[in-house]
Structure 1
Amino acid sequence: MKVAFVFPGQGSQSVGMAKDLVENFKKYDQYLTTAEKAMGIPISNIMFEGPLEELTKTYHAQPALLLSSTIAASILMENGLKPDYMAGHSLGEYSALVMAGVLSVQDGASIVHKRGKFMNEAVPAGQGAMAAILGMAADDLATVTEAVTTEGHSVQVANLNCPGQIVISGTSEGVKLASERAKDHGAKRAIPLSVSGPFHSSLMRPAATKLGVELAMIPLREPKVPIIANVTAKPVESADEIRKLLIEQVTAPVRWEESIRTMLDLGVDTFIECGPGNVLSGLIKKIDRSVTTYSVFDTLSLTNTLYHLKGDSQ
């Protein structure tokens, strides 16, 4: 058995996230306190009590997801489950970096809090959008987005999630036009996403520039576990390359389907989604139905996962 830990991105946050785990594993109170001191915000209150509107703000959702995900993964590892590979979807890549020892939890929480602020500042509310396009090939969709962009309405492929599900991102008008044309060219559906900005698009360049300045000031170590990078869908092993790819990731597509296929080729047959929700588990099953997936977000799901996997390994 080869195991990969995968970490969710924005959209998976929910009020009460990680509360049950922290109540049952008391030492993570200090884990949260350390992160809060680094950020200067009471993130645990927002995670546990909400309101959802506050939690969903990108500069709160990002550190909240990182902390929830790394708490779940830490408890799994303390109980003897060691991943062979790790990957995170967009923001989730930072959770993977913390768990692989590249970033401390304090630096990880602090940098994604700033990353969220930079993204929020890059495009004023209402001027950017994202949409999920279902049932269209990536190359065909890229042709549509490139044509719309050439006409003056910036839009591009943002997330290559799984067969038949690709997310586009750009100006509100660009996403609207590309969605309409995608349906004209055979897409089954175009679903507008409830997001606070056009993530993974060229409109995020100001955020990428600011993030680069911040990343230059914090130490990154070599990963203890190979991480599959969003930008390349390949293992990344050096701190310098990680720093470079994290800056690129802000404006580049998330190659999630390719990342999962890379891990499948490397022999991974079991994926554990660490953090709230089961979005990634669903995507992975659409990529390859034969693999085993687990989602760990509370004590019950943790116990069930440990029971099945530790039993399999004995």
Structure 2
Amino acid sequence: MNVSSHPEQVVFLFPGVGDHYAGMGKGLYDTEPVFRSTVDHCAAVLEPELGQDIRTVLYPAGAVSAPGKGKLDLAALMRGARGQAEIDRTRIAQPLVFTVEYALAQLLISWGITPSGMLGYSLGEYVAACLSGVFSLDDALRLVARRAELIETMPPGGMLVVMLGPDEVAARLDDELSLAAVTSELLSVVAGPVPALERLETTLTAAGVGTLRSNTRQAFHSWMMAPAGDRLATLLGDFELGAPRIPFLSNVTGTWITPEQARDPRYWARQLHQTVRCHDSLGEMWRLPGAVALEVGAGSMLGSLAAQHPARPAGGRPPVHATIPGAGRAGEDVAAVRATAETLGAALAVHSGRA
């Protein structure tokens, strides 16, 4: 595929963990050499860190790549129950999501779709930082794997999505709970110990406020991650951090990261346990002249938030694009990614013999 130059400013959006699934990007892995070679390289670097080949979890037997099947083969799912549980463990999920998002970004760049800016949600900020040159790829992979290991050593907790703005939520929090993320004007995420979350959930339900419990065993972006953040800052002393070459938005500040922040180990410690300022970051993105949002990863969570953001220009312009479909449309990744590339100004040229 060859992509013509595009006058608009494409902003890559990298989601965090949550919408990943076994088989995501399988069609791209089977048909696109750039994607496949990048995944293979990441798997080789990660294997000594994880003690296993991440591809056996990402693409187990039965993971579909043909369109129309939509889900994993049921028999294979039953045979591989251990692998399916494993994909949701932090120590596996985070390196796996990083790998797929980075490989997809490299594929898009090879087609001529290059980012003018980037926004990553939680773990996604590491993909943005790596593409920007803050971390080398191999260092980023090792760092993401070791960061995930640190997270798993923290006490168990949970997260609760709350249908309220951050100020209203903050007024209802006690010392055991943290405002983990602000995703929109009327949508926030709270994290902390499960008993404290249950008390808050009961109070909010009685008040008629909608809530949704997140399927996680950790209290990400909360005070419970602070000890891991301290250890992460120490760990980062062994890595070389560079100044960003491509601008990206900071989870911590909600605006463009500075070179000083990007190279400061303490910044990445705060990024682990402070509030994700997603709503503010999306607002900054829409202030870019000619911004076009492109979600680079599975699902459309960030794209949906971008599309609904009040700072987005009226009239449905500029557009918001997705790439790898969610789990319900597994097997449609090749068609979906190519269609997005075409929409972004691509001139599609499928060579004979390519799927």
Fold equivalence (TM over 0.5): yes
Q: State the 1:239 CA deviation.
A: 5.5
The separation in 2 between residues aligned to 1:159 and 1:34, in whole angstroms, is 32
Q: Is the 8 A contact 1:223 1:239 kept in 2?
A: no
Q: 1:132 maps to which residue?
A: 161
Q: 2:194 maps to which residue?
A: 172
The structure with the largest helix share of the pair is 1
Q: Is the 8 A contact 1:163 1:257 kept in 2?
A: yes
Q: Is the 8 A contact 2:13 2:120 kept in 1?
A: yes
The separation in 2 between residues aligned to 1:246 and 1:233, in whole angstroms, is 14
Q: State the 1:183 CA deviation.
A: 3.8
Q: Is the 8 A contact 1:103 1:220 kept in 2?
A: yes
Counterpart of 1:203 in 2: which secondary structure?
A: helix
Q: 2:247 maps to which residue?
A: 226
Correspondence 1:51-130 to 2 at 5 A: 51-124=83-156, 128-130=157-159
Instruction: Quickly say closer, same or farther: Cα 1:240–1:133, change in 2 above 3 A.
Output: closer
The separation in 1 between residues aligned to 2:45 and 2:231, in whole angstroms, is 18
Q: 1:21 maps to which residue?
A: 28
Aligned length: 301
Q: State the 1:185 CA deviation.
A: 5.0
Q: Alpha-carbon deviations, 1:164-190, whole Å to 9, x = none?
A: 211100011111122233345552x11
The separation in 2 between residues aligned to 1:205 and 1:310, in whole angstroms, is 44
The separation in 2 between residues aligned to 1:245 and 1:52, in whole angstroms, is 33
Q: 2:276 maps to which residue?
A: 254
Counterpart of 1:250 in 2: which secondary structure?
A: helix
Q: Alpha-carbon deviations, 1:199-254, whole Å to 9, x = none?
A: 00001112111211221211122212101000001111316544332110111010
Instruction: Quickly say closer, same or farther: Cα 1:14–1:234, change in 2 above 3 A.
Output: same
Q: Alpha-carbon deviations, 1:141-168, whole Å to 9, x = none?
A: 10111xx22xxxx111101011221110
Counterpart of 2:172 in 1: which secondary structure?
A: helix
User: In the alignment, does 2:343 pair up with 1:308?
Assistant: yes
The separation in 2 between residues aligned to 1:28 and 1:137, in whole angstroms, is 39
The separation in 1 between residues aligned to 2:11 and 2:166, in whole angstroms, is 26
Residue 35 of structure 1 is aligned with which of 13, 19, 42? Answer: 42
Q: Is the 8 A contact 1:129 1:198 kept in 2?
A: yes
Alignment-mate amino acid for residue 104 of structure 1:
S
Which moves more between the two structures, 190-199 or 101-110? 101-110
Residue 5 of structure 1 is aligned with which of 4, 12, 21? Answer: 12
Max Rg structure = 2
Counterpart of 2:59 in 1: which secondary structure?
A: helix
Q: Is the 8 A contact 1:62 1:91 kept in 2?
A: yes
Q: Is the 8 A contact 2:243 2:262 kept in 1?
A: no
Q: State the 1:281 CA deviation.
A: 1.2
Identity %: 24
The separation in 1 between residues aligned to 2:130 and 2:59, in whole angstroms, is 22
The separation in 2 between residues aligned to 1:82 and 1:37, in whole angstroms, is 26
Q: Alpha-carbon deviations, 1:269-295, whole Å to 9, x = none?
A: 311000111111112122146341111
The separation in 1 between residues aligned to 2:25 and 2:262, in whole angstroms, is 31
Q: State the 1:265 CA deviation.
A: 1.7
Unaligned regions of 5+ residues in structure 1, if any?
A: none
The separation in 2 between residues aligned to 1:194 and 1:80, in whole angstroms, is 37
- Alpha-carbon RMSD: 1.9
Please give the TM-score of this superposition, normalised by the length of structure 1.
0.90
User: In the alignment, does 2:211 pair up with 1:200?
Assistant: no
Instruction: Quickly say closer, same or farther: Cα 1:214–1:18, change in 2 above 3 A.
Output: farther
Instruction: Quickly say closer, same or farther: Cα 1:186–1:247, change in 2 above 3 A.
Output: same
